[in-house]
Amino acid sequence: MGDFDLNSNFIPALHKPSALLPIAKHHDSLLYLIEKNPITIVVGQTGSGKTTQIPQFLENAGWCSDGKTIAVTQPRRVAATTVAVRVAEEYGCEVGKEVGYSIRFEDVTSAVTRIKFLTDGLLIREALVDPLLSRYSVIMVDEAHERSISTDILLGLLKKIRKRRPELRIIISSATLQAEDFLNFFSDESDKQESSDGEKNEIGSIVSLEGRMYPVDTLYLETPADDYVEKAISTVFDIHTQEPEGDILVFLTGREEIDTAVQAVVERSAQLPSECQAILALPLYAGLSTEQQMSVFDSPPENTRKVIFSTNIAEASVTIDGIVYVIDSGFVKLRAFDPTTGIESLTATPVSKAAALQRAGRAGRTKPGKCFRLYTEDAFIELPDANIPEIQRSNLAPFILQLKALGIDNVVRFDYLTPPPAELMAKATELLFSLGALDEYAKLTKPLGMRMAELAVEPMMAKTLLSAPSFNCVNEILTIAAMTSLGGSIWIQREGEKKSMESRRRRFSVEEGDHLTLLNTYQSFLKNGRKDPSLFCYVNYINFKAMTRAVSIRAQLKRYLERFGITVDESHEGSTAGKSEQIRRCLTTGYFAHAARMQPDGSFLSIDGGTTLHAHPSSLMFNRRADWVIFHEVMETGNKIFIRDISKIEKGWLLEYGAGYYEVKT
């Protein structure tokens, strides 16, 4: 048989016959349980086929008759798009026809869509328009064990909806640890009462699917690594020169580390001996376009080894075939909100044991693999079993706003899987009150609070957008909102061209800060890039895909404003002369809580004086003077806290627009 032993990658990844997946033998029992129970908890390793096959089983079994749809939610946008593309290929349709997806600022569905993949957050938004989610016959909440805030809130909503819609079927897919917790959460005392014939009336059941797992050798470092990014890159080359063929998946914490690593691999692989296999390095993180994300699933060219540098996206939600080696940095970026300063930052934190095991499992999908952990075995033993749920360490303002808009006024009594800490609830309510979204009775204000909840941006930006008409700068703020929604830098640095990139970037820079610079860049792109936008971007080191996305996001936000009766006059597009102060005042109406004062040494101090902040090197305000500033976001790297998207403001504006938030101490 040796001669005919086809490599398992021979069957194209997207067309592995579903009969080969572990879930295939559970087809009948799964459909029976879903028919019989309102709640089904599916426990399965990634790779068992649950995300791609269950919706297809249900559609074939008639759950989409009467024009109903099956919804499958994902905690991350990347997963929603990539899984939809896979399932559409298996189903044999174009994405957006019978199988589609919907994520923030991108809806690829149509009137004939029967299976719809979407983020948890988007399904919550749909409930604003259709509180009982009545178009769905089945809602499957995938990767629920990740415990993102949106997942937790969605589960609470589904528990409420189920009481009014007993025919709705809810499927929750989870890792083993929490299956019982989910079932108990949905089981009220009334569900557990004994029926007349003495049998327990159970609300649901747990189904276990085993994944196809080959053995994985786990290797640890003997001494801790000083720099895990550098160690990861050198480990890639160790594997490449010493181990048999097979693709490599590397877990890092975020966009900047990933871009650095991809760049380093591209540069160093040029020095490999000519007889060595080529290396194709690819990034995978949330800020990439759908096409870029999909490219990690393509088979590499002949005689080439694929190396994917990913955030924890590849840990659970998506399966990439051909991976034999995993390199685990041991870190993940998690949100951490400090209620005393009101600042939410992304901080690199050691992974949990559960996440480390998920990562290692990625290596044993198609054949035996190896997992290289860039930490010691003792360090692994000390890791926490699971991470703290996001709802206990995040800024809750956007979610409280949404719950209020859904008519859930008493947000403290809402049914949470894990209740959020009281100080986080208090801080969020205080911010929403000072933004004008809640009145003194903590009721949603009309129309401002209701409109803020409907806009697909966070509350501070929503307030800024809705304040723009009174500052006569709707056009400009729309552009700034779109540009700051991209979630990353619009500048591209090419190898060895840092100086020329900086000088090009300076041409767009505006003295008052990053927001006006982003506005200027967008307007130049529209005006000067009309003939050949991609050439304009290439010459100016601008990310063309990011700019086209900004154009599309801006158009969607404009539609929201028009729906609210706010007219957007684009006849004076580009004439922002003399508007700098109005635009910065308008930004202050939303971002007064994100203010800081510059110190003599060039760093900034948060207004309560408790946190030292530094302008991010990518910001125009890096090494520039400004007395008072507002900023869009915060990130923590190493032991420094950086702020991005910074603009100069006047101290008086903070008191004018954040009157309920600040008071002057005499």
Structure tokens at 350: 């050691």
What is the reported pLDDT for 6? 33
Q: What is the pLDDT of residues 579-597, one digit of tens each?
A: 999 999 999 999 999 999 9
What is the reported pLDDT for 4? 34
What is the reported pLDDT for 631? 95
CB 487 within 8 A of CB 286: yes
Q: Domain residue spans in the chain? A: 13-209, 216-390, 395-444, 455-657
For 216-390, CATH number?
3.40.50.300
Query: Which residue bears the tokens 């640095």?
Result: 493
CB 360 within 8 A of CB 216: yes
Q: What is the pLDDT of residues 511-524, one digit of tens each?
A: 999 999 999 999 99
pLDDT at 18 over 80: no
What is the reported pLDDT for 571? 66
CB 463 within 8 A of CB 453: no
Instruction: Determine the angle formed by the axes of helices 498-508 and 514-528, rounding to 10 degrees.
Output: 90
Query: Dihedral, CA atoms, 416, 422, 428, 429, nearest 10 degrees?
Result: 100
Structure tokens at 24: 């295939």
Q: What is the pLDDT of residues 245-286, one digit of tens each?
A: 999 999 999 888 998 999 999 999 988 888 888 999 999 987
Considering the chain, what is the average pLDDT of its residues? 88
Of 144, 143, 139, which Cα lies nearest the Cα of 182?
144
Cα separation, 178 vs 138, in Å, equals: 21
Structure tokens at 467: 């304040």
Question: H or E stretch including 560?
Answer: helix 544-563
Please report the DSSP string for 441-454 in residue order: TSPBPTTHHHHHHH
What is the reported pLDDT for 9? 35
Q: How many residues are given for the chain?
A: 666
Band of the pLDDT at 48, cuts 50, 70, 90?
confident
Question: What's the pTM?
Answer: 0.88
Mean pLDDT within 632-640: 81
Of 138, 132, 162, 187, which Cα lies nearest the Cα of 30?
138
R_g (Cα) of the chain, nearest Å: 26
What is the reported pLDDT for 213? 75
CATH superfamily to which 13-209 belongs: P-loop containing nucleotide triphosphate hydrolases (3.40.50.300)
Cα separation, 445 vs 663, in Å, equals: 23
Please report the DSSP string for 376-390 in residue order: -HHHHHHS-SSPPPG
Query: Dihedral, CA atoms, 561, 565, 570, 571, nearest 10 degrees?
Result: 180
Cis, bond preceding 131 (omega within 30 deg of 0): no
3-state secondary structure 509-544: CCCCEHHHHHHHHHHHHHHHCCCCHHHHHHHCCECH
Q: How far is CA 114 from CA 67, 106, 369, in A?
A: 8, 18, 37
Using the 8-state DSSP alphabet, how is residue 357 labeled? H
Cα separation, 445 vs 302, in Å, equals: 61
CB 40 within 8 A of CB 172: yes
In this structure, the strands spanning 69-74 and 136-141 are parallel
What is the reported pLDDT for 588? 97
Q: Residue 332 corresponds to which amino acid?
A: V
Of 628, 634, 632, 633, which Cα lies nearest the Cα of 655?
628
CA quadruple 304, 310, 312, 313: dihedral positive or negative? negative
The answer to which of 505-514, 529-538, 565-574 has the lowest mean pLDDT is: 565-574
Q: What is the pLDDT of residues 319-369, one digit of tens each?
A: 788 899 999 999 999 888 888 777 788 888 999 998 998 899 889 877 899
